[in-house]
Amino acid sequence: MSDVSMRQDSKPIIGNPKVPIPRLLSSGQATQAQEVQGTQGAQGRTKAIRVAHACERCKVRKIRCNGERPTCNSCKEDTPNCRYIEKKRDTEKRRVYELEVRAKLYEKLLRDVKPHVTHSGLQLAVEKALTGDTAHHSNHDDESLPPIPRRLSPPLNNEVGPSTPGDHRGLPTASFEHISQDINTFSVNNPFGYLGKSSCLWWIQRAREQLRKSIPLVVAIDTMVDPRVPSVEKLDATMYHLDDLGMPETGRDVSPFEIPPKGVADVLVYDYFRTVHCAFPILSKTIFLSQYEQLYRQNMEPIQAGVKWLAIFNLVLAIGRTHCNLVGEAAGYDYQADYFLRARILGALDGALLFQIPDLQQVQMLGLAANYLLVNHRINRAWNVGCLAICKAQGLGLHLDSDAPSLDTLARNIRNCVWHTLYSIETALVLITGRVPLIREVHCSVPVPGTPCHENLDDKGHVMPDPYLFSQRGLFAIINESVMILYNTQNYCMSPAAYQEHVARFEARLTAWKSQIPEGLSFENLPTRVTDAVIEREKRLDLAVRYHNARMIIHRPFLCINESTIKNESIQPGYSPLNSARACIGSACKLITLVTSEDPQTMMRCGPWWSLVHFLSTAASVIMLELAFYSRHVPEDHQRLFRLGDRIVEWFKALQNVDVSSKRCFIVLDEMMKLLRLRNNIPSCAETLCIRALPPSQNE
């Protein structure tokens, strides 16, 4: 069939083929149209009026609203409270704007409080809030802290490769700290107690573990050590701690009211006040010496001096005898153990001490007992006694400034000296054990003590702070805060950037502290200034070794980390882990040079002899750890580090006849140096180290 026939058969379309589509009107036009239609409907058919926005009351009642402002017809009849709420779209816009303003305020507040946040979990939450990382809120959990894993073993080598965002395994202390052995419970009796990550023994063990991984010759090296000495495997966990030996005993019966001859007592009392009293001024020198002279001059019965005073007197004699044994000064054939045993019998450490109402003399007794245990390296016992003394001192309010009218200037200064001594003892024990300090500077208002002389009084009659003790107090605050923050058990969740920010802040505080030291106590060129008075040189040497030790504590964690492990994290501008590691090594080298520049006997006479073993062991842990990692931070000083390590070993060897802790340090460090030389194929040091060994002491 053709197309023509098909067109002929189709019927024509009738009408208009287009369908009209009504035009869409805007909301305003629609309202006008409704009003017109409503007006027309009034004449004929009634049409409902629809408004674009009804009032809130009409919406609730579900009745028709004419939309009049400010009050519609329905509300005029019932109530004058007619309110038109915003449209949903307008409400959302206004709400978003308000939230944006509030978010900016919160962000500014977080940036302001971030430097003052100490909790590592809170630090991580603040950083994630500032960076917009809300992954830890994906479960709509209101907790701001990330969950703590049940157990994370501290890795002995933090070289785990590059870290990813949110992965902080490359952090120096990035492990949840836990106890790997039973301590002093029913199954195991460990006399050393818990040792934290800031203790030098923890870092010595890290260096040994690294050496064990690099060369399996520990058994061969152990055979190089004298077979008569204890095994190195037993000593590497104790080092210079002697709590396993118990307390020194002579096996003889002693009378608690026996006193030594005047000549012997003069030497020991003078030695105590010359070498210990400056750093630990727990006693009033004037009052004590007056009572001491009265005891011997008037031929008094010892019991007349008082039981507590006799206990303090025997503790002073015990500390003085300990120092005389180290320097080889024989002041008679007495024994330090006898003095300490008399003090214990007289009430210094008896069982009823816990239930007695404390007084100032009792706190002095406990402080001297802790001091004696510290200088004899009974570290765990010293910690227990020192903490008890601090608790009793806080019960007396010694940590607060007193304005009681019944206390004169001398009495106030004695209270301040007692608290400062407890603060000093605890800081030393915190560094040795790695435990959390009890004293917080923010809770103390006691001023720095001074010498109550007329020239040291201000216009109001108050004692002027002693410059040496003032410098000590500032350094104690930096050390305790750095240990609590940098070695926190929650640091596994702190980002490397935040960790470096804390390190840079503590380094800046140390630098500011050093710049504020008085000229007479400056230790910039200490080894060359030999014309100083003995007392001033001792103070400068004490501040110098404390400063370098604090700097090592702050920067030491970065010895175990490669800079590449945190390259994906933002770091402190102008600061890097490499610079931090080099600062730690530099302070260790300076401390070793400073201490070993003199022979051991001379250094024990004029230096902080009660902590020299700890300070040198801390520096040795830094040197050994850097050598265990092939001197990757300071490759140019590789040979120098070996020479310094040999110097430390020889220095401890010279003291092994008079000090058991030095003998243990010599055994452990000598074994490690031999292992390092064997691994690196370096022969023994050919130069002769002119360090004269001390003869054995006759008084133990």
How confident is the model over 162-196, as pLDDT tens digits? Answer: 333 334 445 555 454 555 555 554 444 567 778 88
* Residue 403 burial (10 A CB sphere; 0-12, 13-18, 19+): exposed
pLDDT band at 152 (very low <50, low <70, confident <90, very high): very low
Q: How many CB atoms lie within 10 A of CB 347?
A: 17
pLDDT band at 604 (very low <50, low <70, confident <90, very high): confident
Average pLDDT across the chain, whole number: 77
- Say which range, 38-52, 384-398, 502-516, has the weakest mean pLDDT: 38-52
Helix (H, G, I), strand (E, B) or coil at 463: strand
Q: How many CA atoms lie within 13 A of 188 on its CB side?
A: 7
Letter for the amino acid at 171? L
The radius of gyration of the chain from alpha carbons, rounded to an integer in Å, stands at: 39
Quick check: 638 pLDDT over 70? yes
In whole angstroms, what is the distance from residue 635 CA to residue 638 CA?
A: 5
Percent of the chain past pLDDT 70, that is, above it, reads: 69
The residue with greater pLDDT, 425 or 145, is 425
The residue with greater pLDDT, 289 or 239, is 289
Instruction: Quickly list H helices, 44-87.
Output: 56-61, 73-78
In whole angstroms, what is the distance from residue 621 CA to residue 208 CA?
A: 10
Per-residue exposure over 613-636, b if at least 16 CB sit within 10 Å of its own CB, e if not: bbbbbbbbbbbbbbbbbebebbee
Give the chain's length.
700
Quick check: 285 pLDDT over 70? yes
The residue with greater pLDDT, 622 or 192, is 622
The residue with greater pLDDT, 77 or 186, is 77
Rounded to 5 degrees, φ, ψ at 408 are -85, -175
Residue 441 to residues 367, 438, 473, Cα–Cα distance (Å)? 19, 10, 9
pLDDT band at 133 (very low <50, low <70, confident <90, very high): low
For CA atoms 93, 95, 98, 104, the dihedral sign is negative
Give the mean model confidence (pLDDT) for residues 522-527.
Answer: 74
Q: How many CB atoms lie within 10 A of CB 396?
A: 18
In whole angstroms, what is the distance from residue 532 CA to residue 606 CA?
A: 12
Instruction: Quickly list H helices, 528-659.
Output: 534-555, 577-596, 600-606, 612-628, 638-655
For CA atoms 470, 472, 476, 482, the dihedral sign is positive
Contacts 24+ apart (CB under 8 A), 462-470: 462/409, 463/409, 463/412, 463/413, 467/518, 467/520, 467/521, 468/278, 468/521, 468/539, 468/543, 469/281, 469/420
Identity of the highest mean pLDDT range in 143-147, 150-154, 608-612 = 608-612
Quick check: 216 pLDDT over 70? no
In whole angstroms, what is the distance from residue 262 CA to residue 270 CA?
A: 12
Query: 421-460 pLDDT, tens per residue?
Result: 999 999 999 999 989 899 998 899 999 998 754 445 555 5
Token pair 């009084």 is found at 457
Kindly state the tokens that stand for 196: 């934290």
The residue with greater pLDDT, 570 or 313, is 313
Residue 190 to residues 239, 241, 244, 434, Cα–Cα distance (Å)? 14, 12, 8, 16
Q: Please tell me the predicted confidence (pLDDT) of residue 351.
A: 64
Kindly state the tokens that stand for 352: 């009823």
566 touches 577 (CB < 8 A): yes
Identity of the highest mean pLDDT range in 36-45, 237-246, 563-572, 683-692 = 237-246
Q: How far apart are the first and last CA of the chain?
A: 135
Residues linked to residue 175 through DSSP beta bridges, in sequence order: none
Residue 573 to residues 113, 147, 162, 261, 501, Cα–Cα distance (Å)? 20, 30, 20, 65, 9
Residues linked to residue 142 through DSSP beta bridges, in sequence order: none
Q: CB within 8 A of 135, min separation 6: which ones?
A: 128, 166
Quick check: 218 pLDDT over 80? no
* Residue 547 burial (10 A CB sphere; 0-12, 13-18, 19+): buried
In whole angstroms, what is the distance from residue 693 CA to residue 653 CA?
A: 7
In whole angstroms, what is the distance from residue 90 CA to residue 52 CA?
A: 14
pTM higher than 0.75: no
pLDDT band at 80 (very low <50, low <70, confident <90, very high): low
Residue 84 to residues 59, 71, 81, Cα–Cα distance (Å)? 10, 9, 10
Kindly state the tokens that stand for 342: 């008399």
Q: Please tell me the predicted confidence (pLDDT) of residue 316.
A: 96
Residue 566 to residues 165, 241, 287, 496, Cα–Cα distance (Å)? 9, 36, 58, 7
Helix (H, G, I), strand (E, B) or coil at 232: helix
Helix (H, G, I), strand (E, B) or coil at 226: coil
**DSSP category for residue 457:** B
Per-residue exposure over 270-309, b if at least 16 CB sit within 10 Å of its own CB, e if not: ebbbbbbbbbbbbbbeeebeebbeebeeeeeebeebebbb
Identity of the highest mean pLDDT range in 143-147, 171-175, 266-270 = 266-270
pLDDT band at 221 (very low <50, low <70, confident <90, very high): very low
Kindly state the tokens that stand for 229: 């000495």
Give the mean model confidence (pLDDT) for residues 87-105.
Answer: 84
DSSP labels for 151-216? --PPPS--------TT--TTSTT-S-----S--SSSS---TT----TTSHHHHHHHHHHHHHHH--
The residue with greater pLDDT, 49 or 169, is 49
Query: CA-based angle 497:501:505, to the nearest 5?
Result: 170
Listed residue (616, 626, 698) closest to 665, CA to CA: 616
In whole angstroms, what is the distance from residue 318 CA to residue 313 CA?
A: 9
Query: CA-based angle 425:408:445, to the nearest 5?
Result: 45
Quick check: 159 pLDDT over 80? no
Q: How many CB atoms lie within 10 A of CB 208?
A: 23
Quick check: 667 pLDDT over 50? yes
pLDDT band at 85 (very low <50, low <70, confident <90, very high): confident
pLDDT band at 84 (very low <50, low <70, confident <90, very high): confident
Q: Please tell me the predicted confidence (pLDDT) of residue 575.
A: 66
Residue 514 to residues 491, 518, 548, 553, Cα–Cα distance (Å)? 28, 9, 11, 16
Helix (H) or strand (E) holding 379, with range, is helix 379-395
Percent of the chain past pLDDT 90, that is, above it, reads: 31
- Say which range, 207-216, 264-273, 564-573, 663-672, has the weakest mean pLDDT: 564-573
